[in-house]
Amino acid sequence: MAERVESADAPPSGRRLAFGAGAMGMVSILKLGLQAASLPVMARLLGPSEIGVYALAVPVVAFVTMLADGGLGISLTREPESSRVWSTAFWVLLFTGVALSLLLTTIGFAEGYLIHQPRVPAFMAALSVTVVLMTVTVPSMARLDRQGRIAVGGFADLAANLCGVSIGVTLAFRGVGAWSLVAQYVSVSVVRAAIVNAVAFVKPKFEFYPHLLLTHLSAGGLVVGTRMADYFGRMVENLVVGQTLGTATLGRYAFSNQITRYVTEMVANPLWITLYIRALRSEHDEMPSLHLRFSRVLGVLLFPITAFAVVSAPMAVPLFLGPKWLMAIPLLQIMMPSYAMGLVGGLSGAILLARDRFGIQFYGQLGVNAGRVLAVCLGPWVGVIGVAWGITSVTTIYALFMLIIPATVTGSHPLPVLRNLAGPFLASLATALICWLCVRQASPSLERIMLAATLSGLTYLAANLLVDRARLTQDFRLLQQILFKKR
């Protein structure tokens, strides 16, 4: 038994972490494709009214789910598996999940009565089960992250979404209406919880030491506070845009925000969690090197994707979404580059959390949310394009803040980070030029976009070899070391 605990508490190998990060990235791409394929089908089968009824129930559930773990999921990762805090956390999370599930059911009855929608209470009651499933899965996910087995969560997500989409589309074809979306949401949670717990569940002991959770709730509270600040900030943004600029403009603005965040975070999130796990087990003097390496890898991956998306948007948006979405193109083009830089700067948050200094990112998030709301409030005078430029300015300031202020904790100063990113940035400009030459004055077509993507990718590789060959060689050697050595 002691041997098992020691093995579980051994630092995860670099190869396992690299595989996990890559797997999470691939899963994110596949999930994006799955959503892109299934959403139009569900929209056509269900129609606006059924989707609208479902939309009355799911935001409240999603909000409660976001807060349900109290930040314990990411905080537990630092605890040895022999610690008594794991059992205590399980019972607290289980109780919290059940209590929140009952609360959601009660809210559902109240909401259904107030808005005269008799189906909403049943929807909320069914959806509330997902909160319990999520909370009891938190310790298992934390255990997997601690062991560096982050790929398991990614594959569980993919399997869950495949199952959920299959169930949702099948029920929609059979005419069950909004219940098909409820079944899809619940089945995703059931399958994901089943897989993760089958792999990593450890039976908790009947012991309860609440004082052991105090430090975790403190650190996790900042994580939850950051989520809440982001959530309410975007809710206020959408409310102000809808009231001042109209619902059509709100739709374009919300879509641009959503696609920009999803595409960039799809790349950044696996690297963030991997850096966090590495930082938990590393010495302080290793932090600068870790941060430099990970920020460079993020830039190498994120910059060309951003460049291609910005330049190809005038062809891709009308091709895939239709002419009604043309006004979303400049919004996406303006905001996406700053989002990329914001994520590069925000990578230091992983080290801050590992070193119990996450308050720096929390206050930075509060500031950026306040700045975004201010930019949106100027909408009646500057228009939606002016709002986009305002948000870009605020996000750029946040990126600089997260590069400069945490330097005393990470040991990684802004200039070395920016110098490390210069090569990928210049290569991305070359990528953008080739993409522009491919798509300009051409009729929208999938073949043309695929050609532009292929030539842009080859150009990016060649430009990196030309302007930054030395660092690219170091990156390749580091990748070999991570993939084929244990440490």
Q: Which of 178, 208, 238 is the last residue of a domain?
A: 208
Please indicate, yes or no, whether residues 36 and 112 belong to a single structural domain of this protein: yes
**Same-domain check for residues 131 and 232:** no
Q: In terms of domains, do 149 and 221 share one?
A: no
Neighbouring CB atoms inside 10 A of 247's CB total 9
Confidence (pTM): 0.84
Counted domains in the chain: 2
Q: What pLDDT was estimated at residue 3?
A: 38
User: What's the pLDDT at 19?
Assistant: 67
111 and 135 both lie in a single domain: yes
Residue with tokens 């948000």: 391
Cα dihedral 92, 95, 101, 106 in deg (nearest 10): -120
Q: Cα separation of 255 and 238, whole Å? A: 11
What is the structure's pLDDT at 2?
A: 37
Task: Kindly state whether residues 316 and 394 are assigned to the same domain.
Answer: yes
Clarify whether residues 121 and 237 are in a common domain: no
**What's the pLDDT tens digit per position in 93-146?**
999 999 999 999 999 999 888 878 888 899 999 999 999 999 999 999 999 988
Residue with tokens 């948050």: 349
Instruction: Tell me, yes or no, whether 87 and 59 share the same domain.
Output: yes
**Torsions phi, psi for 486 (to 5 deg):** -70, -30
Q: Which of 208, 231, 257 is the last residue of a domain?
A: 208
Q: Which two tokens stand for residue 332?
A: 């996406």
Phi, psi at 123, each rounded to 5°: -60, -50
Task: Compute the chain's Rg from CA coordinates.
Answer: 23
Domain-terminating residue out of 152, 178, 208: 208
- pLDDT given for residue 189 in this prediction: 95
Range of the domain at 188: 1-208
Distances (CA, A) of 301 to 128, 425, 457: 37, 11, 11
Q: Do residues 189 and 233 both lie within one domain? A: no
Same domain, 250 and 320: yes
| Predicted local confidence at residue 239, as pLDDT | 79
Task: Please tell me whether residues 303 and 239 are part of one structural domain.
Answer: yes
Are residues 200 and 331 located together in one domain of the fold?
no
pLDDT profile of the chain (487 residues), mean per 10 = 44 64 72 74 79 81 83 85 90 94 93 86 94 94 87 89 93 91 94 95 89 79 85 83 81 80 84 86 84 89 93 88 83 94 94 91 94 94 94 96 93 91 92 94 88 94 83 65 48
Nearest-angstrom CA–CA distance, 239 and 428: 35
Half-sphere exposure of 351 (CA within 13 A, CB side): 29
**Domain identity same for 294 and 163:** no
End-to-end CA distance of the chain: 25
